[in-house]
Structure formats: structure tokens, C-alpha cells
Structure 1
Amino acid sequence: MKKNKRGKFVVLEGGEGSGKSTQLALLQKIYGGSACFTREPGGTPIAEKIRDLILSPDLKDANGYTQFGLFWAARADHMEKLVIPALESGKHVITDRFDSSSYAYQIYGQKAHYLKDLFFKMREVYLGKIVPDLYIFLKVSPRVGLARVAARVGAKGDSNHFDERKADFHKRLTKGYIEFISQFPHIVIDADRSVDEVTEDLKNILAALL
């Protein structure tokens, strides 16, 4: 029996206000059932429950270790029950955030640099050889990103404690993202531009990869 060719694993990343969720929704319309669209934290019932905890006000003041552990717990379930089965069935997986977010948010955003070594050990144990084929980083300036967050919150009242962080936090996120993805296959997109311009870039990138 012929074994399915493994699907491609793509991560879409970006800080608050980068437009990730908007772009994922647009891409889902384009690729439909040919790709599995998911998110982190989340993607499975257990991981979604952990997501609710991570984004709750109770976790606002949790230290780097606490949030780091929760993210990896959610990721373990996500990988086992959704990502790996989808890839092995031949489906492409496109996820809104992945391990790059843990690196940026906990190690840089929360200044938990002492977690770097542990991060890469966890990555080796939890991911093994099933690692992303490409990281796409939507790079947004803190000024533009925070303005978009404020507009979204004003329109929908939809916010979490990460949205409330100051500009310095978001600058650290960008630094963390760039440091992490520079070690792996990646593409950086200027997300200060319009939705249509970013979408066009993403379509071209994915058409060449998938």
C-alpha cells in the first residue's frame, strides 16, 4: 500500500494587531478542504480549554514558567491529536501561531531568558522530526499594531491581557520572533500594509510551497 506523502506544515506568526486572524480566514476560503487550518493555543478540545485559561485575566500576572508550561501542554495535545495525523494523511497544516510564539512571548515578552535552554529541549521532545516547513512572520510596528488592537476592542469589545501590554512589550516580541525564525526556514512580510497587499504576498508564498 502506497504511503501518503506528508503534507506541508506552515506557521503564520505575528504580534498583536498584525492581522493574522484576518489573513487565516481569507486563506481558508482559498484553500478550503485541501489544508487543515488550526491555531495555538488551541486546535483540540483539551488545548482549547488551556487556551481559555491562558487568556483569562487570572493569568495576567503569571510568571514565565507558568505560561510556558501551559503553552507546551496545549501544544503536546495539539500535535498528537491534530497536527501529526493531518500531516501524515497528506494534508497541509496552516496554524495561527506555534512554538515561535512561546519563544517570543515568554522568553522575550516576559523577559524569561532563563527558559531558552528548556525551550529547545521541549521542542526536541515534543516535536521531534515533525517541525514546520516554513514560518511566515507578519511584522507589524508597535504603533500600527496597537492602533489596530484599539480599533478592534472599540468595535467588538474583544480583548485579552496580551492586548493591554505597552509598546515596549511588543517591541520585545518582534525581537524574539526575528531571533527565533532566523534559525529556520522563514519569510518576513511587512504587515503595516493593507490587508489586500499582505494577502497577495501570502498567496504567492503558499502557491510556491504547497
Structure 2
Amino acid sequence: MFISFEGTEGVGKSTLIASLNQSLSEKSAVVLTREPGGTPLAEQIRELLLTPKQEQMNPATELLLIYAARAQHLDQVIVPALSANKIVLCDRFVDASVAYQHGGRGMDKSQIDLLTDTFVAKMPDLTFWLDLPVEQGMQRAKNRGALDRFEQEKIEFFQRIQASYRQLAEQHPQRIIRLDASQSAKQLHQQALEIIEKFLGGKAVSEINPM
């Protein structure tokens, strides 16, 4: 089972993934990973993408770097793990590219779709979108410490991303489930775990989607 976790900055993805990993690992083999990143080479690309620089990065450069890391990640981590019947918990995946590079940067979605169709052999079975007011999430991100290159963007950038995630959830109710990220970490964990268990029990996402 391939599960991805999406949302703007500071929504609590890392906390939720860590708690689910602990619960699911009691019964199944689980691989915990993230994008961009997941392999040594892909983590080097992540560093390029997230570290603030004097030279402004072209949106096309940003997109291509993300897909270069994704291709490596799929080949080295995700596909082998799924082939071994493991559960993959991934912090961000293709939806993040649509939300950030299309919604946030304004890139043509057909360019993103072309890269996805060409290089992404496997999409998630289930995606949790952690929905939180942008201002609240950004305050959380600031409280964590120094902001990375994406986190330094203006609030309008993240509002466009939020709108894009909302549109994706409406377009793909068979895969994407919205979680109210204003809940406590314990409440989020319990809700997500219950949904995963229902999915593993044979229920379709559309049957258990609370949207």
C-alpha cells in the first residue's frame, strides 16, 4: 500500500507520519520516506531545492529537479518496497508538484502531467491532505526555526497552493481524503489510522472519504 501525505507548510505531516509508522509497524513492514528526497542522491537534490540562494531558481529548473529526484526515489525506494508488499508512507508526492509548481508558481499543468505520465510508474493508493489555514501553518513553520527557500515565499503563494490542493481533493475523491489539521495530533492519528484500516479491509476510498 502506497500512502502519501500532502499539505502546505506547518500542517503536521511529519508528526502524523511518525505516529502512523509506529502503529502500522506493529503488524506490517513499513517504509518511511519523503519528497523531494528518499535516497542519498535525491536528498542532495532536496538540498539544492530547499536551500535559499542568491541566484533565483527558474520554475522549470525547480520542476525538473523535483522530477529527477522523484524518478530516483521511485526506482530505488518506492517500487522495490511495494514489490516486497511493504506499506510506503511518503511525505509529499505528485500532488505537491501540481499544488506548488502549478498552483503556486503558475506553471502549465500539462507540463507537469507530461512528466508524471512519462516518469511516474506508480501513484499512491491513498493520499491524506492535511488542511489548515495558511496563516496558522506558516506560524508553526516559523516557530520551528530558520525558513527554507519555499517557506520564505509570500502568503499569497501558499494561498494559491491551498486552493490547488482543494481542487485536487475535489477532482480525486477516490484517492484523496481531507483531514482537518486543526485537530490535535492524537485525533489526526486516530482518524487516519481508522481510514487506513478500513482501506486495508477492502473498502474503497470513496466509501470512507469524510468529505
CA distance in 1, matches of 2:81, 2:48: 26
Alpha-carbon deviation of 1:150?
Answer: 1.9
CA distance in 2, matches of 1:162, 1:190: 23
Alpha-carbon deviation of 1:190?
Answer: 0.8
Residue of structure 1 in register with 2:140 after alignment: 148
- CA change 1:96–1:59 in 2 (3 A) is farther
CA distance in 1, matches of 2:50, 2:143: 19
CA distance in 2, matches of 1:109, 1:91: 33
What is the one-letter code of the residue matched to 1:48? E
- SS in structure 2 opposite 1:135? strand
CA distance in 1, matches of 2:64, 2:134: 27
Alpha-carbon deviation of 1:103?
Answer: 0.8
| 2:119 alignment partner, one of 126, 131, 139 | 126
CA distance in 2, matches of 1:88, 1:183: 28
Bigger CA drift: 56-65 or 43-52? 56-65
Q: Which runs of 4+ in 1 moved over 4 A?
A: none
- Give the gaps of 5 or more residues in structure 2: 201-211
Contact conserved, 2:169 with 2:178, CA < 8 A, in 1? no
Instruction: Give a deviation string over 1:72-113, Cα, whole Å, max 9, x none.
Output: 00000000111001101111111000011111111111122x
- SS in structure 2 opposite 1:160? coil
What is the one-letter code of the residue matched to 2:112? F
- Give the gaps of 5 or more residues in structure 1: 1-7
What is the one-letter code of the residue matched to 1:142? V
Alpha-carbon deviation of 1:180?
Answer: 2.7
Contact conserved, 2:49 with 2:149, CA < 8 A, in 1? no
- SS in structure 1 opposite 2:5? strand
Contact conserved, 2:50 with 2:148, CA < 8 A, in 1? yes
Residue of structure 1 in register with 2:4 after alignment: 11
Q: How does 1:27-66 map to 2 (within 5 A)?
A: 27-32=20-25, 34-58=29-53, 61-66=56-61
Counting aligned pairs with the same residue, the percent is: 34
Query: How many residues are treated as equivalent by the alignment?
Result: 196
Q: TM-score, normalised by structure 1?
A: 0.88
